[in-house]
Amino acid sequence: MFEQVISAAITVIIGVGAALAYFWGSNWLLDRFLLTGPDDSAQKSLRRDRARSTIRPWLFLLPALLFLSIFLVYPVFETIRLSLMDSGSKNFIGLSNYIWAFQDPAFLQSITNNIIWLIIVPAVATALGLLIAVIADRLWWGNIAKSLIFMPMAISFVGASVIWKFIYDYRGVDTDQIGILNAIVQGLGGTAQAWITLPVWNSVFLMIIMIWIEVGFAMVILSAALRGVSEETLEAARIDGANDIQIFFGIMIPQIMPTIIVVWTTITIKVLKVFDIILAMTNGQWDTQVLANLMFDWMFRGSDFGRGSTIAIIIMLAVMPIMIWNIRQSNKEEGTK
Amino acid sequence: MIVKALKKMTWGRAAAHALLLFLVLIWTLPTVGLMISSLRDKDQLSVSGWWSALTLTERNEVARLPKADKQLEENGQFIIRGELFEAGSGRTVISFGTSANSIGQAKPGDIIPMRDNGNISLSENGSYEWVSNEKFTHTRGPRLFYEAGIPPSFSLDNYFEVMQSQGIGRSFINSFTVTIPATIIPILIAAFAAYALAWMSFPGRGWIVAIVVGLLVVPLQMSLIPLLRMYNTIANITGGQAKSYLGIWMAHTAFGLPLAIYLLRNYMVGLPREIMESARIDGASHFKIFTTIVLPLSFPALASFAIFQFLWVWNDLLVATVFLGNTDSTLVLTGRLRELLGSRGNNWEILTSGAFVSIIVPLIVFFSLQRYFVRGLLAGSVK
């Protein structure tokens, strides 16, 4: 254990040292070998200056580009290739994996569940986040409230799963419940249930965990956007006799619409990738399977890299429109120079 | 002042206060419940909800009475005496009986007949006296059923147990081992790249920015299988391990880079142009400008990203499972917690304290550096 801590510390030192040595050393070499002196002809020093300023950006970028290409760009193409191969990635089998996917009940179940998640989670999280942002900004203890509601963002999905599994806990019909949900249900005269094993509703109980985490994110971003709504417009509307609700829907919402879309799409992407909650709570049993967990299943338990890759590609396809939209937005600001 | 505040209070404002309070309670109670539960005695935790942690817990228990060899003879009677509870436990007897169905048969102080012979009396503090006129001959003690009142007790016992015997302590070290290098190394690499993309002009710059923005949303799932295969191949060739700390550090570094470059570049672009230009006129190289001017000025952005990456790596389960594996010595906290959820699903004393150990570090980071975290969130959401 002690050795492990030491080795981690050494890695930090070596890693940071190597990076620094690379950046410093390569720049030094560049300046050393393409040195321009006072004796050089004007043409020669111009040429060397130009060569230096052509090479230097790439020296700065090289490590980042290497990491990005090996760990993110190349795998995208490799995953596409593997999705056309059989389980051992030896033989080309064309689109068979995709045909299998759309006939497999587990896959169809996962995709249905993913769609339900995509409809409910971003909408509820954004709406609740907006509601809290609007209320909290008007109350004197609003900042404390926001800080507390924001807190689950720091908690892992697995940690949150433990927290909520404890809430949904079920101990037989006739015993005292230690899960607060069943205690409340019993207190109101209902019967305690094993919520996590009740199909359809159990997915909702899993979604609540994700909503619990993401509302804080939506709230923080939307609260900042609301502060940017111009005070003069609001004042003018008040003078014209608009009430709070009209101002909210008529002026605030349209003005912060771009931010609402950003929040919505960000949560959408997170929902597409969510896997920890399902793995920890049900592991896909009782009809709760989703794509990311199904992929994990095929990758490790099924050890079928072909099918695993196919599911990954389908998740990727779902993210694609958002990705293209993001790139367009960023290009509009920068221009692809 | 309170009167003044109350006068200003309208129904609408009161409703707003009530609604927000309600939401705050929903958002905090789950975590509070977990924390309270982790401090409770494990026997109480399993029979009563955490909201009743301060009240007396009632629980049905069974005790087996001693064998005949413990009997004493006093005044011609045969007596077996004993205590149900350990001294100083503070427990009390609420009711008792000789079978599971008749547990409410007698109150403390009552005397009831035993099935074999004699009568038994049980006092509230748990001491019993079993008296008979005949000599006891049984070789197996009969059972006594009773409902015990257990006073609230809080301790750190659950934490000692999970840290030592459930492997949480080991995983805590593993999580730090993964997180620290995986947080520091990408910052350095990203900072240089971000500077190049912000302040140096070269062909293809716009394309690289576009690719980075695109990579921001590429699901991790796309990378897992090819990288797993690549790691296995490299391990086969070199004879090393496919699952190692070095492997996971590199993977986390790469996965953190798009956000790091994006955040830092956006921040650096906003730095005042005049500073850079005057430094260049003074003959400073890009390397010098970067290390002496840009890097110190970018501290807020660096801090934002560091918090993001720390929380993301600490809370990650997927990358750790794939690249570090599930063996006892390499499990990080999230992985260990998932394992405990599977194997010790009903031992809430282990799960609650284990979960609390795993969330305490991110909570400390979060609350102490919330300002930077929020700033990063605002800058990081693609506009």
Q: What is the ipTM of this complex?
A: 0.88
Rounded-to-integer distance, Cα B7 and Cα B155, Å: 46
| H/E run at residue B307 | helix B299-315
C-alpha dist (Å) from residue B148 to A20, B60, B180 = 66, 6, 49
- Exposure string over B20-50, b if 16+ CB within 10 A, otherwise e: beebbeebeebbebbbbbbbbbbebbbbbbb
Q: Where are the alpha helices (DSSP H) in chain A?
A: 2-33, 42-68, 74-82, 96-101, 105-136, 142-150, 157-167, 180-187, 201-227, 231-239, 244-247, 253-273, 276-281, 291-300, 305-334
In the prediction, which pLDDT does A193 show? 83
pLDDT at B173 over 70: yes
DSSP states of B178-231: HHHHHHHHHHHHHHHHHHHHHH---TTHHHHHHHHHHHTTS-THHHHHHHHHHH
- With an 8 Å Cβ cutoff, are B24 and A67 in contact? no
Cβ A200 vs Cβ A287: under 8 Å: yes
Nearest-angstrom CA–CA distance, B332 and B314: 9
Residue of A nearest to B179 (CA): A8
Is A220 near chain B, with CB under 8 Å? yes
* Residue B382, pLDDT score: 47
B220 residue type, one letter: L
Residue B253 has pLDDT above 90, yes or no: yes
pLDDT at residue B312 in the model? 92
- Checking if the pLDDT of B348 tops 70, the result is yes
Q: In angstroms, rounded to a whole number, what is the distance separating the alpha carbons of residues B191 and A188?
A: 57
Q: What is the pLDDT of residue B3?
A: 57
The answer to whether the Cβ–Cβ distance between B200 and A60 falls below 8 Å is yes
User: What is the pLDDT at residue A212?
Assistant: 94
Average pLDDT of span B41-45: 78
| CA atoms B54, B55, B56, B58: torsion sign | negative
- On average, the pLDDT of chain B sits at 85
Which residues, 6 or more positions from A293, have their beta carbon under 8 angstroms from its beta carbon?
A110, A275, A278, A279, A283, A284
Q: Which of chain A's residues have a Cβ under 8 Å away from the Cβ of B219?
A: 269, 272-273, 292, 312, 315-316, 319
pLDDT in tens, B279-324: 888 888 888 888 888 889 988 889 889 998 999 999 999 999 889 8
What CATH number is given for A104-334 in this structure? 1.10.3720.10
Residues of B with Cβ-Cβ distance to A63 under 8 angstroms? 189, 192-193
Instruction: Please list the pLDDT of chain A residue by residue as tens digits (337 residues).
Output: 677 778 777 877 887 888 888 888 888 888 887 776 666 677 777 887 788 888 888 988 999 999 999 999 999 999 999 999 888 778 888 888 898 888 889 999 999 999 999 999 999 999 999 999 988 888 888 889 988 999 998 899 999 999 999 888 888 777 778 888 888 888 888 888 888 888 888 899 999 999 999 999 999 889 888 888 888 888 888 888 888 788 888 888 888 888 898 899 889 989 988 888 999 888 888 888 999 999 988 888 878 888 999 999 999 998 888 888 888 887 877 654 4
Q: Is it the case that residue B116 has pLDDT exceeding 80?
A: no
SS3 B113: strand
Bigger pLDDT: B361 or A92?
B361
Residue B193: is its pLDDT beyond 90?
A: yes
Q: Which residues of B touch A177 (CB under 8 A)?
A: 49
Interface contact A145-B46, CB threshold 8 A? no
Residue-by-residue DSSP string for A54-65: HHHHHHHHHHHH
pLDDT score at B279: 86
Question: CA-CA distance, B335 to A241, in Å (whole number)?
Answer: 57
Q: Indicate yes or no: CB of B34 within 8 angstroms of CB of A79.
A: no
Q: Which residues of A touch B377 (CB under 8 A)?
A: 217, 220-221
Chain A: residue whose CA lies nearest to B215: A72
Ramachandran assignment for B107, one of left (phi > 0), alpha (psi -120 to 50 degrees), beta (any other): beta
Model confidence at B2: pLDDT above 60: no
Phi then psi dihedrals of residue B108, to 5 deg: -55, 140
pLDDT confidence of residue B98: 83
Over residues B270-287, the mean pLDDT reads: 84
A248 at the B interface (CB within 8 A)? no
Two tokens at A280? 């920890």
What pLDDT is stored for residue B66 in this prediction? Answer: 85
On the 0-12 / 13-18 / 19+ scale of CB atoms within 10 A, B321 is buried
Residues in a beta bridge with B150: B57
Say if CB B120 and CB B80 are below 8 A apart.
no
Chain B: nearest CA to A288, how far in angstroms? 17
Contact (CB<8Å) B16/A139: yes
Topology of the domain comprising B159-380: MetI-like fold (1.10.3720)
Per CB-CB distance under 8 Å, the chain B contacts of A5 are 173, 176-177
- Alpha carbon distance A279, B334 (integer Å): 12
pLDDT for B65-84, tens place per residue? 888 888 888 888 888 888 88
Hey, is the C-beta of A214 within 8 angstroms of any chain B C-beta?
A: no
CA distance A131 to A216: 11
Q: What are the sequence ranges of the domains in chain B?
A: 2-52, 57-151, 159-380
Percent of chain B with pLDDT over 90: 15
The minimal CB distance from B374 to the residues A179, A220, A299 is found for A220
SS3 annotation, B336-363:
HHHHHHHHCCCCHHHHHHHHHHHHHHHH
B80 to A81, B73, B88, B110, B329: CA distances (angstroms): 79, 9, 22, 17, 51
Residue B263: pLDDT over 80: yes
Chain A residues close to B46, C-beta within 8 Å: 178
DSSP assigned state of B99:
S
B219–A315: do the CB atoms touch at under 8 Å?
Answer: yes
Task: Name the amino acid, one letter, at B280.
Answer: R
Q: Where are the domains of chain A?
A: 2-82, 104-334
Which three-class secondary structure state does DSSP give residue B60?
strand
Task: Provide the pLDDT for residue A110.
Answer: 92
Report the C-alpha gap between B143 and B114 in whole angstroms: 10
Which residues of B are less than 8 Å from A29 in CB distance?
none
Q: What is the pLDDT of residue B43?
A: 75
Q: Closest Cα to residue B323, out of B210, B272, B247? A: B247
pLDDT given for residue A251 in this prediction? 85
What pLDDT score was predicted for residue A336? 44
Read off the pLDDT of residues B224-243 as tens digits, 9 standing for 90 and up.
889 988 998 998 888 878 88
User: DSSP H helical segments within A151-200, as ranges?
Assistant: 157-167, 180-187
Comparing CB atoms, the residue among A72, A132, A334 nearest residue B254 is A72
